[in-house]
Amino acid sequence: MDSKYVLLIIAVIIIISAYLVFNPGNQYERLQIAGSTSVQPVIEKLAEKYQETHPNVRINVQGGGSGLGIRTVEQGIVNMGMSSKALNPDEKDGLNEYVIGRDGIIIAVNNENSISNLTSEQIRNLFSGEVTNWNQIGGSDEEVHVVVRESGSGTLQSFQDIIMGSTKIRKDAIVQSSTESVKQAVKQDPGAIGFISLVNMDNSVKAITVNGITPSEQSVANGSYLLQRPFELLIKGEPTGISKDFLDYVMSPEGQAIIQNQKVVPANQLKQ
């Protein structure tokens, strides 16, 4: 091989080696978190604030649903999982659950929908397909389009447990992969109904009063609003190192204040 090429290869190796040794990015402590898309924006805000005072830490927060969060932390792929439901006994498998707050699940309809209040039974009938037109429950002559989350979603599981019970959701329901996607689908369809996190609620869709109770932080905190579930961080085994430090921050007064600012009832305000 020509000596020029040998020198060029050696130079490239030296440059790459120097980059790997001296690049400050490789000295960061890294925390990988994945799971619930409902919990995700809350943890992203917490991670942002935490990193402001911990410049040598990089936190990567990904969605994918509660099921993915449970699986990936159990398999050691991520340091922490996010779940918007309590774990079933067969899901625990060495995982420790840390409730960081409680969230309301909003029954959302299009802003053009004249319906403002629904009973639990009416919601169940809408999602099961027993009611197929809004005029059957006092609304306009508009076909009902049901929008739900994908299998493995903690929001879906909580909705199924609280509202549907053993009743199945209609087979032709439109499936979305995140709470934000559900909101966008409802926003664009006058006949749509879906469920989203209180964290994601804004005036682009209409929140339905359930059994006469308006969804809010207050009605979630006092337990009067039916549709609510925990926001959890999951860690395999006991938390150590950066995982423990971040968890301590989340549960600190500062972290709990950030959670409350995200429209979630923080753990320090929950009834024991």
pLDDT (tens digit per residue) in 21-65: 345 556 789 999 999 999 999 999 999 999 999 999 999 999 999
CB 12 within 8 A of CB 234: no
Sorting pLDDT into bands at 50, 70 and 90, what band is 254?
Answer: very high
- CA count, 13 A, side-chain hemisphere, 75: 8
Q: What is the residue type of 183?
A: K
Q: What is the pLDDT of residue 2?
A: 52
Q: What is the residue type of 192?
A: A
CATH numeric code, 104-228 = 3.40.190.10
Q: What is the pLDDT of residue 269?
A: 83
What string of H, E and C letters represents the secondary structure of 17-58?
HHHHHHCHHHHCEEEEEEECCCCHHHHHHHHHHHHHCCCCEE
Alpha carbons 81 and 70: distance in angstroms, whole number: 6
Superfamily covering domain 3-102+230-269: Periplasmic binding protein-like II (3.40.190.10)
For 147-184, the pLDDT digits (tens) are 999 998 999 999 999 999 999 999 999 999 998 999 99
Q: Write the DSSP symbol of residue 191.
A: T
Residue ranges covered by each domain of the chain? 3-102+230-269, 104-228
Helix, strand, coil share of the chain (percent; to 5):
40, 25, 35
Six-digit token string for 9: 């290869």
Type and span of the H or E element at 35: strand 29-35
Q: What is the pLDDT of residue 21?
A: 39
Instruction: Assess whether the region 3-102+230-269 and the region 104-228 belong to the same CATH fold.
Output: yes
Alpha carbons 254 and 110: distance in angstroms, whole number: 36
